[in-house]
A and B are shown apart, each in its own frame.
Chain A
Amino acid sequence: MTGGTGTVDEASATPEASATSRPVVARFDHVSMVFEGNTAVDDLSLDIYEGEFFSLLGPSGCGKTTSLRMLGGFEEPTRGRIFLAGKDVTFQAPYTRDVNTVFQSYALFPHLDVFENVAFGLRRRRTSKADVKRRVGEILEIVDLPNFERRRPNQLSGGQQQRVALARALVNEPSLLLLDEPMSALDAKLRRQMQVELKRIQTRVGITFLYVTHDQEEAMTMSDRLAVMRHGRIEGIGSPQEIYDSPTTEFVATFLGASNLLAGNVTGVEGSIATVTLTHGWSVRVGVGRLPEARVGTPVKVGVRPEKISLGTGAAAPGSDHNSLRGRVKVSTFTGVGNQYLVEMPWGTDVTVYAQNIGEATAPRSGEEVVLTWPIEHTFAVRPMASGSTEDETNTGDNDE
């Protein structure tokens, strides 16, 4: 980590650092999956460590569900190997693997009641009657569904069905739990509730979770680490805060949260600070370590998150540790918790700024000239994306795969 993001090191309790010392539960080793001529997963290599909550995040068709299904044994990779607990399981049948899945549709058995649904895995392993009863009772307690044993799945609400699906998988105490967009059928309120709940359950049972989602907020709230996928490849991997604060590609910067990206070229490198001259002549500074390539002349996009920018009237003094740009407020929207501004740069680009509502009297109004200021340490740079816009892919709506 460079760029001196002090907050990262303190706050995240470094799951990344501690994770690497833990055993690897699952490993993708140069895995590719080609389906009817389309590459769904493209040379994926990834380690998932014991006890972590890992998310695969990406838009529809990015290969995240296919990757999960290959771990579960429902798809075979075209190339590469898959390991579970150090053992090559690439072509092993799903019923011989020590993983369990929470399916997107829950896939509860409609002809069995809740108890028999949850007991299904235990019965396959010839668990004694008394043990089945005890363990099913315990897990239903954990997912907060006691006294639901005799209900049929069609008598349960969506949220309850999801808990049963979770219990049915967890009761087998797998080394790895796979969750395939389990929240996509829930409404927004229930979804937020279940996010907290799922994290609580994961902490309590201590099982490794691999969570697949297209919802960046969901991935950030729950994950210890996450990987952003696109076109079958991982574009960024790390703790949510690392990825949010230091996105490594333009796609990650726009898919995970909002980013202001300004195109330019590296025009100077001085010690640990590089200067990037924007296409229209203005310049900003960025930590050398944040550059994709620390070479003068490299085309980059300089980025800053909207909440890192403060609006004022005076420019930062030259030589200070802040960048500043001048612009004119185009739109100012009051959102309750704060204000959202669209500030037009002199060359026409809009920059989004979030200001928290902390009772400051003078909020700039539309048409006003303002100076945007933000610390150099909160400036990042990514390589410009080769092809056009990312609009279609950054839509994190409820479109399922």
Chain B
Amino acid sequence: MSVVSDAATVGGRPHEPVAPATKRPHHWGRIALPAYSWLVIAYLVFPIVVMFVYSFNKSVGGVPQVSFSWNGFTTLWYRTWNDAPGLTSAFWLSIRLALIATAISTVLGTLLAMALVRYRPRQFHGKGVIEQILFVNIAAPEIVMGASLLGLFVTFNIGRGFITLVLAHVMFCIAYVAVTVRARLTGFDRSLEEASYDLGAGPFTTFRRVTLPMIMPGVLAGALMAFALSIDDFVTSNFVSGTSSPFPVLIYASTRVGIPPQVFVFGSVIFAVGIALALSSLAIGRKRI
């Protein structure tokens, strides 16, 4: 290094001394841990692979039912994906339910998280109690919640259907959203909001231009979790769905008479969409950093 300048001290690196070449002992951990990780992944992915493979399985004797012996390759179920009775409408019901429940619970959960992070117990009476209730809500067995909700709806004579499903799903999603967003908000630098006020932005503009963009990753994570919880919920939904069965409830009901092979088609497509979403979010995340 002959020239010492600002640029050199900012961007440059001092000379790193070259270590003498000694023989490195072999670390088995370097092989064992990755190998172990791949085994765990295989364990997790295997059922999905089976489902994917069997979505191409022929049925026996023309009965549109899932068969668990391999009868030959067909794309019939993909071509006739809409033919299983009630399956498609149940799927769209689940999607609608999940979107609405996610939207509502994300807004409510985010606001709850902000209140919990912003105010000290002295300013916010019962803050500790609320935090405990959130935890209980997450930890409580779903079967208990489902049963008590059913009892509630019956007591108040509320007809079970889409509305009760939304109410129930929002209820069990809020706590997850609140906890996720709160984790993101905890490190939030309040002086950023002060800076925004200082520059002439009112409370609403500050929330929209500074606070929300800053906590967006947390809000999105919370929303994603709410969506995932809602779309595959069975226990609670089974209690409160009435006649409008969401996808998981319908499939469970159909196991008694035989699963239509289209279920595996839906399953494979949902999984593929999930992977596509995860990959694109990874790509966007890389670009932003």
> Do B194 and A103 touch across chains, with their CB atoms under 8 A apart?
yes
Chain B interface SS verdict (over half): helix
Residue of A nearest to B192 (CB): A107
> Do A74 and B194 touch across chains, with their CB atoms under 8 A apart?
yes
Contact A120 to B214, CB < 8 A, known contacts A103-B191, A105-B191 = no
Pick the contact of A124 from B194, B199, B213 — CB < 8 Å? B199
B interface residues (Cβ-Cβ under 8 A, vs A): 10, 189, 191-192, 194-202, 205, 209-210, 213-214
Pick the contact of A93 from B197, B205, B213 — CB < 8 Å? B197
> Do B200 and A95 touch across chains, with their CB atoms under 8 A apart?
yes
Contact A94 to B198, CB < 8 A, known contacts A103-B191, A107-B191 = yes
Chain B residues in 8 Å Cβ range of A168: 195, 199
Pick the contact of B195 from A93, A101, A172 — CB < 8 Å? A101
Chain A interface SS verdict (over half): loop
> Do A121 and B199 touch across chains, with their CB atoms under 8 A apart?
yes
Pick the contact of A120 from B10, B191, B201, B213 — CB < 8 Å? B201
Chain A residues in 8 Å Cβ range of B189: 105, 107
Chain A residues in 8 Å Cβ range of B196: 109, 120
A134 proximal to B (CB < 8 A): no
CB A372 to nearest CB in B, in angstroms, measures 44
Chain A to chain B: the 10 pairs with minimum beta-carbon distance, closest first = A121-B199, A107-B195, A124-B200, A107-B191, A94-B197, A111-B213, A95-B197, A101-B198, A120-B199, A124-B201
> Do B199 and A172 touch across chains, with their CB atoms under 8 A apart?
yes
Pick the contact of B194 from A99, A107, A172 — CB < 8 Å? A107
> Do B191 and A100 touch across chains, with their CB atoms under 8 A apart?
no
Contact A72 to B198, CB < 8 A, known contacts A109-B210, A110-B214, A157-B10 = yes
Residue of A nearest to B10 (CB): A157
A287 proximal to B (CB < 8 A): no
CB A69 to nearest CB in B, in angstroms, measures 9
Residues of chain A from 74 to 129 with CB closer than 8 A to chain B in the complex: 74, 93-95, 99-101, 103, 105, 107-111, 120-121, 124-125
Pick the contact of B201 from A95, A107, A110 — CB < 8 Å? A95
Chain B residues in 8 Å Cβ range of A111: 213-214
CB B50 to nearest CB in A, in angstroms, measures 43
Residue of A nearest to B195 (CB): A107
CB B164 to nearest CB in A, in angstroms, measures 39
Size category of the A interface is 20 to 34
Contact A124 to B198, CB < 8 A, known contacts A105-B189, A105-B191, A109-B210 = no
A73 proximal to B (CB < 8 A): yes
B192, B195, B196, B198 pick with most chain A CB within 10 angstroms: B198
Chain A residues in 8 Å Cβ range of B214: 110-111
CB B40 to nearest CB in A, in angstroms, measures 35
Pick the contact of B198 from A100, A105, A110, A157 — CB < 8 Å? A100
Chain B residues in 8 Å Cβ range of A109: 192, 195-196, 210
Chain A residues in 8 Å Cβ range of B213: 111
Given contacts A93-B197, A105-B189, A120-B196, 14 further A-B contacts (CB under 8 A): A73-B197, A74-B197, A95-B200, A100-B199, A101-B195, A103-B195, A107-B189, A108-B195, A109-B196, A111-B214, A120-B209, A124-B201, A168-B199, A169-B199
> Do B205 and A124 touch across chains, with their CB atoms under 8 A apart?
yes
Docked CA distance A93–B202 (Å): 9
Contact A125 to B192, CB < 8 A, known contacts A109-B210, A110-B214, A111-B214 = no
CB B197 to nearest CB in A, in angstroms, measures 4
CB B17 to nearest CB in A, in angstroms, measures 26
Residue of B nearest to A111 (CB): B213
Chain B residues in 8 Å Cβ range of A94: 194, 197-198
Contact A172 to B192, CB < 8 A, known contacts A111-B213, A157-B10 = no
Docked CA distance A100–B205 (Å): 17
Docked CA distance A103–B195 (Å): 8
Chain B residues in 8 Å Cβ range of A124: 199-201, 205
CB A207 to nearest CB in B, in angstroms, measures 15
Q: What are 19 A-B contacts with C-beta separation under 8 Å?
A: A73-B198, A74-B194, A93-B197, A93-B202, A94-B194, A95-B198, A95-B200, A99-B198, A105-B189, A105-B191, A108-B195, A109-B195, A111-B214, A121-B200, A125-B200, A168-B195, A168-B199, A169-B198, A169-B199
